[in-house]
Amino acid sequence: MVWIAGVLALYMAWAIGANDVANAMGTSVGSGALTLSAAVVVAGVLEFSGAFFAGAHVTKTVRKGMLDVSMVPVDDMTFGMLAALASAGTLLLVATRFGLPVSTTHSIVGAIVGFGAVAVDFNAVAWGKVAQIVASWVTSPLLGGLLAYFIFNLLRVTILEHDKPLDQIKKIGPLFFFYVFFIIGLVTLFKGLKHLGLDFSFLQALGLSALLGLMAAGVGAWFLHHVHVEDVDDSDFHFRSLERVFVVLQILTACAVAFAHGSNDVANSIGPLAAVVGIAKTVEAKAPVEAWMLAVGGLGICFGLATWGYRVMETVGKKITELTPSRGFAAELAAATTIVLASRLGIPVSTTHILVGAVFGVGLARGIGALDLRVVGSILISWVATLPISAVLSVFFFYTFKALLSP
């Protein structure tokens, strides 16, 4: 059972990398900040790092928070977790084939709730926890969109529309360097390394993250001071030299989003695996998340990114609204903040919802005409359909595994 669960977890992680990685790198590719091959390499490293070093927090919520495990027979719990991985991975596979950025969190939570409610007992589902997560699916894209709207308008007022925008970016730019590395440091150090024996208090993590941010701000100030500028007006990119500065800032925020995405979404593949391993070892779905499980999830995400990630990248990066490095930077900075907060609170939010909401917010800041509403509409429809489809598939796979693997 553990071997089957491991293979299915790898399959699910591959599907996550193929579909959801667009949320981390789609805007960078769409704005031209990174080539597709460079995005694959950068995101691969950061996704794996986030999954391995900071992925244990949310994994516990997905593994144990959805069901009252005391009401579920041991064998049924095993078959159900296998079914959840198989159904969610299959749904993501089909969605990726058509370039639809669906929510992996919707997929796995819907699958767990589906087999729990139909195949086991309606009361076995922790509906209160499910309601909290469903609420986060509404609030997280709104928060991402509002933050992106605010950040882009702030950039526009303080830099893009300033009389001397290049001088302004040299003054304000180090603050952005500080903030991005502060967020990365905080999500890594505050309880993110407990499974490796490093347990920092919140104040310790805050101090070390601030130190990391200050070092990054110093490097950023040096970089901005040595940037060669051209006073050339460009109707699409405002100033060519100014956008080159935002290329660097956007790549940094893309790294933050990739790290945060890995830390949050690895739970969708590893949570059910941890439950199966726990049952195999202790006859309870309460075994700790082990480093090898996080490694399986991280490697699967990287492989999915390298093979099929380009399909959904195009939708997120190019089809919703026209992105430049400054616009992509605003969207990704807002998304990184939202994702990191959710990860630290242990809420498995949808990275897809957050990033699409942030891209929508940036487009809305330029007027409703800057958005392709047909693309936005098709994405929203795919979001609504994800949860019920994954639930139905999960019930099908549950009975299939039960028939094939029962002694």
Residue 10 burial (CB < 10 Å; 0-12/13-18/19+)?
Answer: buried
Residue 375 burial (CB < 10 Å; 0-12/13-18/19+)?
Answer: middle
What is the C-alpha to C-alpha distance for residues 2 and 78, in angstroms, rounded to an integer? 9
CB 372 within 8 A of CB 321: yes
What is the C-alpha to C-alpha distance for residues 229 and 220, in angstroms, rounded to an integer? 16
CB 104 within 8 A of CB 352: yes
Give the residue ranges of the chain where pLDDT is below 70. 22-23, 54-65, 69, 187-188, 190-198, 227-241, 264, 282-289, 342-349
pLDDT at 45: 83
* pLDDT tens per residue across span 208-224: 989 999 999 999 888 88
Least Cα distance to 353 among 255, 256, 248, 264 occurs for 264
The values of phi and psi at residue 292, to 5°, are -65, -30
Q: How many CB atoms lie within 10 A of CB 117?
A: 19
pLDDT at 227: 67
Residue type, 266: V
What is the C-alpha to C-alpha distance for residues 24 and 339, in angstroms, rounded to an integer? 11
Q: In the 8-state DSSP scheme, what is residue 197?
A: T
Classify residue 367 as left (phi > 0), alpha (psi -120 to 50) or beta: left
Model pTM score: 0.78
pLDDT at 237: 45
Structure-block tokens of residue 9: 């977890």
CB crowding 43-75: b at 16 or more within 10 Å, else e: bbbbbbbbbbbbbbbbbbbbbbbbbebeebeee
